[in-house]
Amino acid sequence: MHSVHEKILKFMSKFQSKHGYAPTVRDIMKHLKFASPRSVSYHLDRMEIAGLIKNAGKARSLQVACVVEDRPDNPMIPVYGPIRAGHPELQSQLPLGMLEIPPALFSSGVQKKGFALTVKGDSMEGAGILDGDLVIIENSQPREGDIVAALIDGESTLKRLVKKNGTSYLKAENPKYRDLIPAAELVIQGVAVGSYRKF
């Protein structure tokens, strides 16, 4: 996680606990000694894209979307996204920020090559993965029935992996969406091992 983003998250959490409401942009600017509100807004925009905060666009509407602990040894993973939980689409590979991994999700696959994706769409709602969630992806060998981040014919999506009669394909957890059978190629990028729910 970007050091400035971590400082903002910690200040927001402490401010909320003390006062019972969220800090304003100017509160953050004053406490962290930013030069202008615009500088704060820039970082808040990046943090919202990464799923670290939620901003309703009103005064004192900022909300922390993940917990930052005072543990410098906690590993962090890059946040990419969004990934479609709907119809596949081309996926940007530029990281949007960093996410601290909670202790419950420590594993070699997450720590070494893990990453997080911001979910876009409702095709996995039956598995409890909703639009706007952050899904943590582990670099591990997928098994039948795993929820995976995949490239299907060059486009990215989040679906359940199904294997039948020697053929692998992707299945949604929403009856509105059809099965995705690769025309040429199916590449599994990783296995979903956990998620954060935005407030």
Set 123, 140, 156, 195: catalytic member: 123
**Contact predicate 118/163, CB 8 Å:** no
Q: Per residue, what are the HEC states of the chain?
A: CCHHHHHHHHHHHHHHHHHCCCCCHHHHHHHHCCCCHHHHHHHHHHHHHCCCEEECCCCCCEEECCCCCCCCCCCEEEEEEEEECCCCECCCCCCCEEEECCHHHCCHHHHHHCEEEEEECCCCHHHCCCCCCEEEEECCCCCCCCEEEEEECCEEEEEEEEEECCEEEEECCCCCCCCECCCCCEEEEEEEEEEECCC
Set 140, 156, 159, 195: catalytic member: 159
C-alpha span between 145 and 180 (Å, rounded): 14
Is residue 123 part of the annotated active site? The answer reads yes
Looking at the annotation, which residues are catalytic? 123, 159
